[in-house]
Structure 1
């Protein structure tokens, strides 16, 4: 382990990050650029003393768990994360499911006011959304994080009207979801969240069990949907899925041609928003 080079690497990347980039307040003038050591420690869920010792080349070799946390806290690229592991003599294992949404994807979410946008991780946890998606599907901010998984909700929600946010697709999502999750479980054999989700579905959903036995692996991209909205009724929409390869994430876009009933409904939802829908 090259302690001196590790310290330089951590300090260099800490100084490149502005507080606003990681969702922290600036807290007034700063004597040095970038984040403070205690802020990096907070983001990585480690002690400030431990992180300081790493920067000062006085700390023990970090565990792989700590290295992953530091990589996320410092917003490292995949190549930079590999280098961080190499500095500590711990070759990076195949990563788990990423929940870090790239900045360019968040910009896309915010710049599409007439499109309902949801960002999903590999196992279909909802990571980000725009106000129109919240008005169309659900106020995700009011739902516990664990319950924001679209596949879990589809197979385990006791209310059939709620389990797919009112989206009518002839049962196509169930087949896709089981096949998709099978592929994800193969890609991330050590990801506890993925394995726990599969076990939970096998215990709680006979429908999922039957589909899992088929052992299909498939993809879902462009398709037509009808969203049965509780206030506006059926809304016909186009649904497209864009892939973010370096994060294995999916950007789901709900749109409609200008002048169509679906487009008019989306415009109405964008004006009324969540408050009026409630």
Structure 2
């Protein structure tokens, strides 16, 4: 008996798309879709021709879609189907994935939810912070404030990691190998921003930094890109001394655009110095303008 051949992945995907469409169609009542049910109606859900009419496509084409035929589907048609089938945000993303189209983006969040801020606070005495889609600092804990200065003391415009790295003179002495770290950070920012080309906020930020920082202007023109990898950074803190931290990035899946960075001590000496920096003996919450 010949071995059973594997089903091509594309056919599996089309079948899953057909089954998903059929399940969503059958759950919607005619009244929910604004259709008056006739006296001879046998199914509680919508008919294929009704979904086709609501979506603005032909009955034949939609039927082929539910039959898992090899036909192309545009983003515009997918959006029409999502509206006709009353899909929520998760179902809409699932529809696009099954159709082999790039997932539609979710709008970025304004800031972290309270639970995420509590998580950042709970990481003390290890520095931790959250960045939004534009790399603005939207959450940080006491240890992060003690490390770089309290962002709360800055005006909102200045609470941007890229702006701090390239325009705050204290960061140039705080971060060991500032040129290498700054250039690597900029390459990561460019890679992260590739989905927002033309974004007015992005254009304004990079335009201002090209004027304010010669290094930024020169390195931005090099078009270097780099993915983020867990890495190690060394700091020469004016009060705590040498600090060696390992950085880890986490995505907040329920808060689009927000990323959490946790900084773990790389050695026992750093762990002890972090405790001293943020412990009960620390004199209040550090301010960004007081030189720590």
- Return closer, same or farther for 1:245/1:165 CA change in 2, 3 Å cut-off: farther
Length-normalised TM-score, structure 1: 0.58
Change (3 A) 1:205 1:276: closer
CA distance in 2, matches of 1:81, 1:252: 30
- Distance (Å, rounded) in 1 between the aligned partners of 2:257 and 2:221: 25
User: Separation in 1 of the partners of 2:262 and 2:105?
Assistant: 29
Q: Distance in 1 between matches of 2:176 and 2:146?
A: 17
8 Å Cα contact 2:240-2:274 kept in structure 1: no
2:258 — aligned with what?
249
SS at match of 2:206: helix
**1:38-85 deviations in whole A, cap 9, x for unaligned?**
xxxxxxxxxxxxxxxxxxxxxxxxxxxxxxxxxxxxxxx965999xxx
Q: 1:78 to 1:200 in 2, by over 3 A?
A: farther
Quote the Cα distance in structure 2 between the aligned partners of 1:164 and 1:274: 24
Residues 275, 104 of structure 1: alpha-carbon distance in 2 compared, 3 angstrom cutoff: closer
1:117 aligns with 2:128: yes
Alpha-carbon shift at residue 128 of structure 1 (Å):
0.4
TM-superposed deviation, 1:223: 1.5
- The answer on 1:196 being equivalent to 2:204 is yes
Aligned to 1:144: 155
1:105 equivalent to 2:113? Answer: no
Tell me the residue number matched to 1:153.
Answer: 164
SS state at 1:176 partner: helix
- CA RMSD in angstroms comes to 3.0
Counterpart among 117, 130, 137 of residue 126 in structure 1? 137
* 1:44 aligned residue: none
Q: Distance in 2 between matches of 1:108 and 1:201?
A: 32
Describe the shift of the 1:169–1:108 C-alpha distance in structure 2 as closer, same or farther (beyond 3 A): farther
Counterpart contact for 1:224–1:237, Cα < 8 Å = yes
1:15 equivalent in structure 2: none
Is contact 1:96-1:190 (8 Å) kept? Answer: no
TM-score where L is the length of structure 2: 0.56
* Unmatched segments (≥5 aa) in structure 2: 1-31, 33-87, 94-103, 287-291
Q: 1:96 to 1:173 in 2, by over 3 A?
A: farther
Q: CA deviation at 1:109?
A: 0.9
Question: What is the SS of the residue equivalent to 1:163?
Answer: helix
C-alpha deviation, 1:144, in angstroms = 1.0
CA contact (8 A) 1:136 1:229 kept: yes
Change (3 A) 1:164 1:144: farther
1: CA distance between counterparts of 2:165 and 2:264?
22
- Alpha-carbon shift at residue 165 of structure 1 (Å): 7.4
SS in 1 for 2:221: helix
* SS, match of residue 122 in structure 1: coil
Equivalenced residues, count = 189
Separation of aligned partners in 2, 1:217 and 1:200:
20
Q: 1:169 to 1:78 in 2, by over 3 A?
A: farther
Equivalent positions of 1:263-274 (< 5 A) are 263-271=271-279, 272-273=281-282
**Cα deviation 1:138-165 (Å, max 9, x = unaligned):** 11111111111121122223x2xx1357
Q: Select 1:180's aligned residue among 183, 188, 202.
A: 188
- Secondary structure of 1:168's aligned partner: coil
**1:237 alignment partner in structure 2:** 245
Contact 2:146 2:285 in 1 (8 A): no
